[in-house]
Structure 1
């Protein structure tokens, strides 16, 4: 009996030592993380608020405001179908097709012209989340190079930033339109880092989408998940380096880290 107790005690001690060692190694890895030279930002939902599109999408879908998230996820899903099958359609065209699919699935009559009108113009006029301008300015004041990386087209994001008052806060805008492969394909993140002349581990990808964070992390980027209301991380993806409620918190977190 005593020998069993002794063996159990030893096993518990060894387990505790192993856990402590693992925690120390994780902490060491985290502390060794380099300061990012470039911070990349997703645009739609991370910087810009899609809630303002509820009315136009709901009108197109017979008053069904609850179908907005389904439309957006359907659009993202089929952008990946393009990348997986070696095709490419403009994000707006995929969005139009996705809205028509949602309408058909819910027994709603919707023409292509009506679908396009419901999303294209409203998408270009999305307002920024309340924290965005302050958070971006704080990061810019800290000396970070800020770059957008979006699935939207070059002209689309240019117009979005002009209307949202974000143009001057960014050093560059990148669109996957230039390589015609949608995020979260690893090629998109590799390409983005190359455009800025930096290594992947010298970059930080900021997004409110678990799929975007998972893709960037798998590619080798540092990542920050912005926990916008209703947004959750992908539980099977690698954990992000930072989880924040908004961009102001991100700026404060990075500033605090610089002092450590």
Structure 2
């Protein structure tokens, strides 16, 4: 068995550029609501529903949050608005450095996977459209356990499916709540600093912190592959 950890990537915002969805919010809300405010609420309510033992697919929560925010601003949404948001979110491009970073990790011998809050079919479509699906050996979705990250069962499911110990897995994400959940589940973790995302100074911390995915990949290779 390889002594390299299996690398598991978050998808939205870690690999795919959520900033490309911003024009929808500019058009609908002008400057009252931006994409990050929407996404933060999407994550918040996914966790609230999980805590309430009520699973709703991530895409449906996103649409409900979109309407909720429109209601708070007195904005009337048209069907076309919601359709455009769904289409933009499912076709986000990768950040520029992502393909090269994934290739360098794979060339160094790492096995690559994903774990996303999206439905499996949405994730598959996203990665295909982004042109990076071929880098990954397997795609995991929280839909398999009906609990959103960072709920422990989401990480445990991946370990069981891959038949490895949690310590053999490394989560790569740009969200502190995701790396926190992974480390609490016994994984290692690497944090990617994306715009408007930062670590929180309490709770389990990632072992690697990088300015972008290239930086994280280089640190992973130096930490593990270069010592083989």
- Alignment TM-score > 0.5, same fold: yes
Query: Counterpart of 2:50 in 1: which secondary structure?
Result: helix
Q: Residue deviations 1:66-106, cap 9 Å, x none? A: 52111001111111112111111111110000111111222
**One of 9, 31, 55 as aligned partner of 2:23:** 55
Structure 2: tracts of 5 or more residues without a match: none
**One of 232, 235, 239 as aligned partner of 2:205:** 239
**In 1: Cα distance, 2:155 partner to 2:41 partner:** 22
Cα contact 1:38–1:146 (8 A) shared by 2 = yes
**One of 127, 130, 144 as aligned partner of 2:110:** 144
Identify the residue that residue 74 of structure 1 maps to in structure 2: 41
Q: Of Structure 1 and Structure 2, which has the larger fraction of its residues in helix?
A: 1
Cα deviation for residue 125 of structure 1 reads 0.9
Cα deviation for residue 57 of structure 1 reads 2.5
**In 2: Cα distance, 1:65 partner to 1:248 partner:** 34
Identify the residue that residue 223 of structure 2 maps to in structure 1: 257
Q: Residue deviations 1:99-155, cap 9 Å, x none? A: 1111122232225x3452132111111000011000000001111110010000111
Q: Higher Cα Rg: structure 1 or 2?
A: 1
Aligned residues: 225
> 2:90 aligned with 1:124, yes or no?
yes
**In 2: Cα distance, 1:133 partner to 1:142 partner:** 14
Cα contact 2:25–2:33 (8 A) shared by 1 = no
Cα contact 1:71–1:98 (8 A) shared by 2 = yes
**One of 74, 84, 90 as aligned partner of 2:51:** 84
Structure 1: tracts of 5 or more residues without a match: 1-33
**One of 187, 204, 209 as aligned partner of 1:221:** 187
Identify the residue that residue 188 of structure 1 maps to in structure 2: 154
**In 2: Cα distance, 1:65 partner to 1:45 partner:** 22
Identify the residue that residue 8 of structure 2 maps to in structure 1: 40
Query: Counterpart of 1:117 in 2: which secondary structure?
Result: helix
**In 2: Cα distance, 1:165 partner to 1:65 partner:** 33
Q: Runs of at least 4 residues of structure 1 off by over 6 A?
A: none
